[in-house]
Structure 1
Amino acid sequence: MADSDTDIKSGDERRTTTRERVYSWFILGIVILCIILIIAHPFVKIQGKNMTTLDVNGNIGWIYTDGSKADLTHLKFEDGKGIVSREITSVFSSGKDLCFETSNLFFKVYLDDEEIYDFHPEIKFYYGQYYGDYIHLINIPYFKDTGHLRIEYEALTINSWTCFRNVQMSEGSVYFRDGIGNGIFQFALCFSTLIIGIIIIIMGCVFHSRKNGMIETVSLGAVAILMACYLMSGTKIWQLLFMDSAMPRIIEYTTLTLIPVPLILFVAAFTDRLQRKLPLVICCSSFTLLLIMIFSILTGLFDFSNLLGAIHVNLVVSMTLLVLYFFFSLRQEEKVTGNKWLLIAFVVLITTGVIDIALYYIQQQDYQIRVVNFGLGFFIIVLALYEIGNIMEINRINSEADTMYRLARLDGLTGLANRLAFDEAEKDLASEAGSSASIALLDINFLKTVNDKFGHSEGDRHIKNAARIINESFGLYGKCYRIGGDEFVAIIRGSGHGSNMNAAKEKMTELTNEYNKGQNPPIPLNIACGVASYEYGINTVEEAEKLADSRMYMHKRRIKEDMRDM
């Protein structure tokens, strides 16, 4: 039972180290997965073999009613409506479906004037004026020779997204599989980012005690989660999970609106500028846009996509502030030097985001999120390594603090708990309702004589052996403290504390005799002991200690009298 406090603390430290290792390896596993995904990106595509048919570009051969050529990705409208048609052969369409994607069109498909497909879904209020991206796999009925295919379409609203995209004559399963395959890298990367963001937020709440440190970490985790949800919303897999084409669109706009908030909060906390007004302005503008978006969904007065320009402006302003804040933080050379890779990752993420925003306005409906995937992957890898380093540093500081706390309550000479630890134990015992204990006060006899005749080194050896014997006796049943030069206290709690105290006293006498016979110290070791019981509500701890002290001095006098008689 010696140094039981040390054993307990060591156990806590071992558990902390184990938990730290588990978290670190968990994050490292996700980082490795992100690296693999980035390396494999150019090669990742689900491919299948179709030995009987070939996919055909379904955008070729369409004409309007006036005979002019039609491009299904750039439709013409009259009063919001239009008709395109084409001739197909049975050889051309055998075993194939008419496959495409839409996001802003109602339409009907006819084969030889017979309706084969009608897409006029009920648009719920939260869809706005779009129903999101929707995949259509239209089976072409069997016919002989040549057939006339006609599509009558109607726009919800007319803009660059009001069209038929990725039109093919293909087997529906192949078309759908390829669509999933094309987004599998982005989905896997986003899913990894989502998981690591959640872990980082948990770590920030658990490990960070410094306010700014927690805001930094939680903001980083929030950035990861929002970026993951935003990029994931553009994949077909996301739509499959929700089985609702509107939900990915709402998530996309919501996350794009809120991304500036954790970005600016992280940078403000990182550069110690949380008290400035600009972070608050960005947060207010982002939440204002979100409220307007919710208002548009609930009222239907306008579609929330009309806010996209304002959302992009908010993003660009936020990114500009990020750059400025990082520039100002260059003055804090020590902090920047220690986190330069995190700063680089942030710059890469911001740069790739700006590039994708620019590409959106340049390419319009041909736009696909590409560049920011690499920025996000790099950012998440650096972010994970940054947080692992943070957690290790925090645990090191906490471990040092625990060690200092423990050492402040240990006696340096004997290894027993000291006076401070005893005072705390005394208060705990007195405040615990229904508690009971036996309290022993112990004192080493003739210690001054040992010091005077044989020196303080022999006196220290006398004290250490007395402490060992006391701990091996009373420590079996309770807790031992050194509260003065030659004074000790033992507290035995719980049921049977009286009988345990008697057993401890007998054990101390036995060990003392063994020591005196075996080690033959120049002056035999003698330990005076006085015991009293404490019962909650009957007496106080102070009263029990006072009684034990008087009994200890009575025992001390008897020992001295016996020594004189010898």
Structure 2
Amino acid sequence: MNTRYTHRFFFVAYLVMLACTLLLSGINARRTTGEESPYWGRSAQSFSQGWQDEQGDAVDPGQLNVEKDHPRSEWYEIHAELPQVLPADATLSFRSLYLRFTVIIGEHEIYSYGMEPSHVFGNSPGTCWHHIPLSGTYAGQTLTIRYATSYNASNECFADMELAGGAQLIVDAVRQGLPGLIASGLLLFLGVVFMLVDLPANRIMHRPNHGLLYLGILAVVVGLWSFTETHVPDLFVTSQQALNVFSLMLLSLTPIPIGLFLFECLMIWKERLFYIGFGLSVLEFVVCLILYMSGVTDYMRTLFITQGLILYFLILIVYTVAINIRDRERSRMEKGLILSGISIMGVCVGADLILSKLSYHLDNARFTRVGMILFILLFGVLNILQAMTQVKENSQLELVSQLAYKDGLTGIGNRTAFNERLAGLETMRQQIDPVSLVMLDVNNLKTANDKFGHQQGDILIKGASGVIHGAFAGLGTTYRIGGDEFAVVISSSTGREGIESALRIMQKDTDRFNENEICAVPLSIAWGYACAQSPEDPISRIMEEADEAMYARKREMKQKMGQAPVVR
């Protein structure tokens, strides 16, 4: 199985899932439930005392203790006496959790909610704030709430029952949710930063490693989910059912980025088990979405599947951590970061999962936020350390590459680079423009070395390199292929006129070099060139022709200077 393409497939699938979540949430948000934003009036007073059930027994609206064997279609009642005095603008404010109900005063129904299940919202009425205006004429009368459950679960109740509602309700809710809001904001901030840093970090490392991208996506998804779990947004949205569905869908999006991140940063044990988890996550999302849209069931009823997948990945993570802790190539710091990050996240997520099953809590992300922040920080540090190691290795590889393909004295390509370039051109000569070669040889290098020392010989070679490279920079690539030998490879339809023009520039630059008396020995360069007659013309023949022309010119130049002719 090709790991690279498998990761791409699941990443693209994940983006599609995320897009579906946002799209469906947008559609739901347009189908409002008729609720308005909270009533802004005087400070609130509790109305959670004095309630009784049908038998006259005292009951707490926030802890209805619905028995699991009760039929969900059965209706229950609780009632309480309103105060003897009610202001004209009095409001009853509370939050319902997964309950359908009507509010009755005397014989008049004044409010109802969730009475008709919606295929768009599923069978669940979700969690929702209610703000019911109460007339002053209702003072002293009995207020009855008839309700039916959705799941027969312990967390189905009426929470935060208050009279008068208003600004104090919002202040109290924000105050209670402030730690969660800060933690959620920090997660969102870290996620955005990591996603923005991922691209430049990959460019620096010269190797695709999107650990920061996956970690950033995870932070954003968990940050949004934990933000909705503070229930502060419930106070300001008009479709709280849509917000509830959005929260549950976000939760189902968490397993895949965790697995993809671990693939990038850790040594994975039995990759197939992770791929099975990825496949199950995609399947769970698609099936639950279809069941939800068709009205067969809703996300609350399938929440146990999402929690099971999260547990599945936590188990795989434990095995993965155990393998990486035994890895001798990892430093103690890396092992400590891995163990701490996974342990903290596992404990915190496990604690919230257990508490959500044992008792009712408005906020099901209290510990997960803390664990996820520490997990992301610790593994962000781990990813940065790995990136620094990779950059160091790349620098060493680049240095080795420079030594292998670049001339140490002049900084241009060496003989190895020249030969590989010719081999590549030979295999592609049918698809490219005709190739031209210019062969060059520096005169008097031996004289400079013998009479004036190797330092002057190096100056002469550097001068020749600068002159040749400068003249042919716009036409081809210059190489030093021997002690005093250079070559220029031109793979364009320049022709002889372009080469002759570059040679004239080279001669002018040579004269300027000599006028400045930079070297004790005058710079003199012999050259020869040859152009391909057709695409089929072999490069070996072109090189041989250019060599012969260069040596012929070298003999001619030395004869003019009164030296012995060059014997090839």
Match of residue 343, structure 1, among 339, 344, 352? 339
Structure 1 segment 21-36 matched on structure 2, within 5 A: none
Change (3 A) 1:476 1:297: closer
Alpha-carbon distance, 1:122 to partner: 4.1
| Aligned pair partner of 2:147 in 153, 156, 177 | 153
Report if aligned partners of 2:528, 2:546 keep a CA contact under 8 Å in 1.
Answer: yes
What is the CA distance between 1:70 and its match in structure 2?
Answer: 3.7
Deviation at 1:167, TM superposition (A): 1.0
Q: 2:321 aligns with which of 326, 350, 356?
A: 326
2-side partners of 1:242 and 1:408: how far apart?
A: 64
CA distance in 1, matches of 2:167, 2:347: 38
Shift of 1:64: 4.0
Q: CA deviation at 1:162?
A: 2.8
Q: 2:180 aligns with which of 175, 186, 195?
A: 186
1:373 corresponds to which residue? 369
Match of 1:232 in 2: 227
1:5-20 matches, cutoff 5 A: none
| Partner residue of 2:125 out of 131, 134, 154 | 131
CA distance in 2, matches of 1:284, 1:537: 52
Matched-pair contact (CA < 8 Å) for 1:108–1:117: yes
Deviation (angstroms), 1:423 = 4.1
**C-alpha distance in 1 between matches for 2:536 and 2:286:** 64
Q: Pick closer, same or farther for the CA change 1:392–1:240 going to 2, 3 Å.
A: farther
Q: CA 1:219–1:144 in structure 2 vs 1: closer, same or farther (change >3 Å)? A: closer
The code of the aligned residue for 1:62 comes to W
RMSD of aligned residue pairs (Cα, Å): 4.4
Deviation digits for residues 368-402 of structure 1, max 9, x if unmatched? Answer: 43222222222222233333333333333334434
Structure-2 change in CA distance of 1:60 and 1:472 (3 Å): same
Q: Percent identity?
A: 24
Quickly say closer, same or farther: Cα 1:544–1:149, change in 2 above 3 A: same
Indicate how the Cα distance of structure 1 residues 109 and 550 shifts in structure 2: closer, same or farther if over 3 A, else same: same
**1:554 corresponds to 2:552:** yes
Q: What TM-score do the two structures reach when normalised by structure 2?
A: 0.74
Query: Aligned partner of 1:374: which letter?
Result: V
SS at match of 2:80: strand
Q: How many Å apart are 1:314 and its aligned residue?
A: 5.2
Which residues of 2 match residues 66-465 of structure 1 at below 5 A?
A: 66-75=55-64, 80-89=74-83, 91-120=85-114, 122-125=116-119, 127-143=121-137, 146-172=140-166, 174-176=168-170, 178-179=172-173, 182-183=176-177, 185-187=179-181, 189-194=183-188, 196-197=190-191, 200=194, 207=202, 214=209, 220-221=215-216, 223-236=218-231, 244-257=239-252, 259-260=254-255, 262-263=257-258, 272-275=267-270, 278-279=273-274, 282-283=277-278, 290=285, 293-294=288-289, 296-297=291-292, 304-309=299-304, 311-312=306-307, 315-316=310-311, 318-335=313-330, 337-339=332-334, 340-364=336-360, 368-423=364-419, 426=422, 427=424, 431=429, 435=433, 439-448=437-446, 458-465=456-463
- Whichever residue aligns with residue 379 of structure 2, its letter is L
Letter in 2 for 1:481: Y
Cα distance change, pair 121–419 in 1 and its aligned pair in 2 (3 A): farther
Q: Which has the higher helix share?
A: 1
Q: Structure 1 pair 269/521, CA: closer, same or farther in 2 (3 Å)?
A: closer
**Within 1, Cα distance between the matches of 2:138 and 2:216?**
59
**SS of match in other structure, 2:92:** strand
**1:18-38, Cα deviation, whole Å (9 max, x unpaired):** xxxxxxxxxxxxxxxxxxxxx
- Counterpart secondary structure, 1:330: helix
In structure 2, how many angstroms separate the alpha carbons of the residues matched to 1:140 and 1:97? 5
CA distance in 2, matches of 1:462, 1:268: 54
Aligned twin of 1:14: none
**SS of residue matched to 1:53:** coil
| Per-residue deviation, residues 329-374 of structure 1 (Å, max 9, x unmatched) | 4322552513213421221111122222232233225664322222
Tell me by how many angstroms 1:478 deviates: 4.9
Give the match for residue 526 of structure 1: 524
Residue 229 of structure 1: CA displacement?
Answer: 4.2
Deviations 1:447-491 (A, max 9, x none): 455556666555444433332333344447654221222221235
Distance 1:437 1:292, change over 3 A: closer
- CA positional deviation for 1:168: 0.9
Residue 490 of structure 1 corresponds to which residue in structure 2? 488
User: CA 1:208 to 1:187, structure 2 compared with 1: closer, same or farther past 3 Å?
Assistant: farther
Distance 1:142 1:544, change over 3 A: farther
CA contact (8 A) 1:219 1:265 kept: yes
Residue in 2 that maps onto 1:505? 503
Q: How many residues align?
A: 517
Task: Determine if contact 2:436/2:489 at 8 Å carries over to the other structure.
Answer: yes
Matching residue's letter, 2:330: K
- Offset at residue 139 of structure 1 (A): 1.6
Consecutive unaligned residues of structure 1, counting only runs of 5 or more, are 1-47
1:412 Cα shift? 1.4
* 8 Å CA contact 2:530, 2:546 repeated in 1: yes
Deviating more after overlay: 539-548 vs 378-387:
539-548
Deviation, structure 1 residue 528:
1.2
CA distance in 2, matches of 1:283, 1:565: 78
Give the equivalent residue in structure 1 for 2:562.
Answer: 564
Residue 95 of structure 2: SS of its match in structure 1?
A: strand
Question: What TM-score comes out, normalization by structure 1 length?
Answer: 0.74
Rounded to whole Å, the distance in 1 between the matches of 2:275 and 2:300 is: 25
**Residue in 2 aligned with 1:61?**
50
Is the 8 Å Cα contact of residues 213 and 269 (structure 1) preserved in structure 2? no
Preserved CA contact (<8 Å) 2:82 2:138: no
